[in-house]
Amino acid sequence: MQTKLEGRTKVHFVDTEGPGTLIGEKLNPTGNKKLSAALKEDDHEFVRQLALDQVKAGADVLDVNVGVPGLNEPELLKTVVQMVAETVELPLCLDSPNFEALKTALPVAPGRPLVNSVNAEEVSLEKILPLVKERDCAVIGLTIDEKGIPKDVETRIRLTGKILERAARFDIAPEDVIIDPLVLAVSTDHEAAAITLAAIERIRTEFGVSINLGASNVSFGLPERHTLNQSFLALAMAAGANCLITDPFKLSLSLRATDLLLGKDAFSARYISQYRSLQAKDS
Ligand code: THG
């Protein structure tokens, strides 16, 4: 199954059978003081550079999140999406829980963007899905509802079914819905990753849709986060996740290594090309 995304000039397919999609997560002010300051001070150069650096590092799609408390998110998301769209050619992923922000920014996003996200709550389904249909784009569906992130696999399967069914009612095709089963930090629940991996396998077999995962969330509160993220990313991809929202500076080569080991990189071409571009950047 393929999801077509489009940026200003580039087309990218999120593909259940092909190599993984890397959504660069760094345009997100959460825990990033420099970016928060840049957004407050309208430092467009800083934002543009962070976008360009992620493209160079191997991102396929760029996530854009501007959630800084106190700032006008609808206006800011629109401004930043416009700015990033002028700077890079890749498709964009508009990351906001704020309906008004998505509604305001979607018209200025080029091509066919990815909306991040809708969830299984009534208010979310009823507001976000019509927006996605109207803009003819794709959406990430989080398996979360009024009760929060389910602890068990079964509820995540049920919520996946609910999101896909509701999308269908709005005439949104299953290939335009990428399910994100979410992962909690293993520091607070040692079974969190194992449960998400089991959910990924079942979503893939039972629904066949693309699966997204934030591969940095698993390691909150632990040392050597990079090591945990790297191991989790490989396990998640082996289980069936084909779209990873993560740090391209640290994980792009690891992601291409996993593609190769899963038989999705003929002649090691993408792995070698990623290696070379990282070498070129270092020298
Ligand atoms: N699923 C979907 N969307 C998501 C997530 C997900 N969007 C947000 C998040 N999870 C993915 N993005 C980030 C961005 C940054 C970090 C983690 C996830 C992060 N930041 C560092 C920190 O907090 O310590 C600081 C980074 C820095 O200093 O540069 O780790 O799961 N659909």
**CA 142 to ligand 1: nearest atom:** 32
Asked if 96 contacts 81 with a C-beta cutoff of 8 angstroms, the reply is no
**CA 140 to ligand 1: nearest atom:** 32
Peptide bond into 283 cis (omega under 30): no
Ligand 1 binding pocket includes 95 (Cβ within 6 Å): yes
The span from the CA of 257 to the CA of 149, in Å, is 30
The span from the CA of 149 to the CA of 71, in Å, is 27
The pLDDT, as a whole number, for residue 283 is: 61
pTM of the complete model beyond 0.95 = yes
The span from the CA of 211 to the CA of 190, in Å, is 22
Residue nearest atom 11 of ligand 1, based on CA coordinates:
214
Ligand 1 binding pocket includes 212 (Cβ within 6 Å): yes
| Interval 82-107: pLDDT, tens | 999 999 999 999 999 999 999 999 99
- Report percent pLDDT > 90 for the chain: 97
Ligand 1 binding pocket includes 116 (Cβ within 6 Å): yes
